[in-house]
């Protein structure tokens, strides 16, 4: 994001007002150059160790974003059959795809085995048994990983901390040997990885160091039992700056892990979502109405919790900035959406110049878990998505059309006709 000569906000050389005029609002915008920059920063930091970079598709699954990362050589970390189809459609080679998730159905596992993806990270002993059965029935082999729950706490919002014992995620440490035995018992399965994913928006290295130590012990146990896993998958979670956070640089993040990874003889696999795309995206919105209520100034904008759920779900903080600088005096504003929920807010008490109907605002840091979490609540069409690259832009998903939202719903499914009571 930058201000142009006129002081007006622009992304990658494209004025935000141009997009609002051509595509309307609310619209998500992603800066391809920023995503490339994040990927190359990661690749540079990881150079000292053998590594593989995966992109966690769920953060932003738009095909243009996936295609960009696939062309950069990233693999894909997926969590559903839908993401498998998206990743393949975007051009990720099957062998670069890793399937994570606590509730993979037989149907999804069958599709993953048939597609010959790189690795299925199982999250329970039962899931491993189902994968073995699917492979035996279909006569196909599969490489599996064991995603353990390393029982480490990460200081982040409780809804996005996933590495603590007792949660739904991962194989409990005490069941690791049971998991190995299921793989032993099947001629179709090979153990390729030991994995963890401890949470999201993590700003410290300690939980990674603690988790990695546990993974190394497990690699040792697996080798002792005759397996030859070649990947240590530490998952994702590297935090970004939304407000005043001091996120780790990739080099700082990797530094305390390097020696351990090297001595393990394994390839380090990471699966970052937010870090790669979060800061590269904004949500462009327009003020619908303003009012004063008991001394508070309220701006109702045309992007709500159905477009950007993070404030309502996690009390997440996103910067809101006016697209055109206004000479008006500064004041404090509550920026809220139009959805009929008190939880439908973007930010409270924000220092901004005078706002009025028609003014454009940009909500920053919206590239990850933004559009991906959006919904049609209040029968609102989901936003358009635009990608900007080097001064040019393309619509990469058109705004949904309202009539499409109810296209497949019969108003009278039992044929009662008019007048029936």
Ligand X SMILES: *Cc1c(COP(=O)(O)O)cnc(C)c1O
Residue 222 · residue 229 · CB < 8 Å: yes
CB 276, min distance to ligand X, A:
8
From 119, 258, 292, 340, the catalytic residue: 340
Q: How far apart are alpha carbons 186 and 168 in whole angstroms?
A: 25
CB 62, min distance to ligand X, A:
15
Q: Which is nearer to ligand X, 25 or 149 (CB)?
A: 149
CB 200, min distance to ligand X, A:
3
**Residue 320 has which token pair?**
């809101």
CB 158, min distance to ligand X, A:
14
DSSP result, 42-106: HHHHHTTS-EEEEEEGGG---HHHHHHHHHTT-EEEE-SHHHHHHHHHHT--GGGEEE--S---H
Q: Which is nearer to ligand X, 192 or 235 (CB)?
A: 235
CB 119, min distance to ligand X, A:
12
Q: How far apart are alpha carbons 101 and 262 in whole angstroms?
A: 28
What lies within 8 Å, CB to CB, of 9 at 6+ separation is: 1, 2, 3, 15, 16, 321, 323, 324, 362
Q: How far apart are alpha carbons 276 and 200 in whole angstroms?
A: 13
Task: Give Cα separations from 160 to 100, 232, 236, 243, 319 (angstroms).
Answer: 15, 22, 11, 18, 21
Q: Which is nearer to ligand X, 79 or 268 (CB)?
A: 79
Catalytic residue check, 266: no
Q: Which is nearer to ligand X, 21 or 103 (CB)?
A: 103
**Could you list the active site residues?**
340
């Amino acid at each position: 994001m930058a201000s142009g000569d006129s002081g007006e906000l622009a992304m990658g050389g494209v004025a935000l007002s141009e997009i609002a005029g051509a595509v309307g609002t609310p619209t998500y915008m992603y800066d391809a150059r920023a995503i490339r920059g994040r990927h190359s920063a990661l690749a540079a930091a990881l150079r000292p160790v053998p590594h593989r970079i995966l992109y966690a598709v769920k953060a932003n699954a738009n095909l243009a974003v996936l295609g960009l990362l696939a062309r950069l050589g990233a693999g894909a970390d997926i969590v559903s059959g839908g993401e498998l189809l998206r990743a393949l459609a975007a051009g990720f080679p099957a062998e670069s795809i890793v399937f994570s998730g606590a509730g993979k159905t037989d149907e999804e596992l069958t599709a993953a085995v048939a597609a010959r993806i790189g690795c299925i990270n199982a999250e329970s002993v039962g899931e491993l048994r189902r994968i073995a059965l699917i492979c035996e029935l279909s006569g196909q082999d599969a490489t599996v990983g064991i995603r353990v729950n390393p029982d480490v706490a990460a200081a982040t919002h409780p809804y996005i901390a996933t590495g603590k014992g007792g949660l739904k995620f991962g194989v409990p440490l005490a069941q690791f040997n049971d998991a190995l035995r299921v793989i032993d018992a099947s001629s179709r399965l090979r153990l390729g990885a030991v994995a963890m994913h401890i949470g999201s928006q993590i700003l410290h290295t300690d939980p990674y160091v603690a988790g990695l130590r546990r993974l190394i012990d497990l690699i040792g146990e697996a080798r002792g039992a005759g397996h030859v896993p070649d990947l240590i998958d530490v998952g994702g979670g590297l935090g970004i700056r939304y407000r005043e956070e001091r996120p780790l640089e990739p080099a700082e993040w990797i530094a305390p892990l390097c020696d351990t990874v090297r001595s393990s003889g394994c390839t380090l696999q990471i699966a970052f979502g937010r870090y790669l795309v979060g800061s590269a995206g904004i949500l462009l919105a327009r003020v619908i109405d303003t009012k004063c209520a008991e001394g508070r100034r309220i701006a109702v904008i045309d992007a709500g919790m159905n477009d950007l759920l993070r404030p309502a779900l996690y009390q997440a903080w996103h910067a809101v900035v006016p697209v055109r600088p206004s000479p008006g005096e500064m004041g404090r504003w509550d920026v809220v959406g139009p959805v009929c929920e008190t939880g439908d807010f973007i930010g409270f008490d924000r220092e901004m110049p005078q706002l009025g109907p028609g003014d454009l605002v940009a909500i920053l840091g919206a590239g990850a878990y933004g559009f991906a979490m959006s919904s049609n609540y209040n029968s609102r069409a989901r936003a358009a998505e635009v990608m900007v690259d080097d001064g040019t832009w393309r619509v990469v998903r058109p705004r949904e059309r309202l009539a499409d939202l109810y296209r497949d719903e019969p108003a009278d499914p039992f044929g009662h006709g008019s007048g029936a009571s």
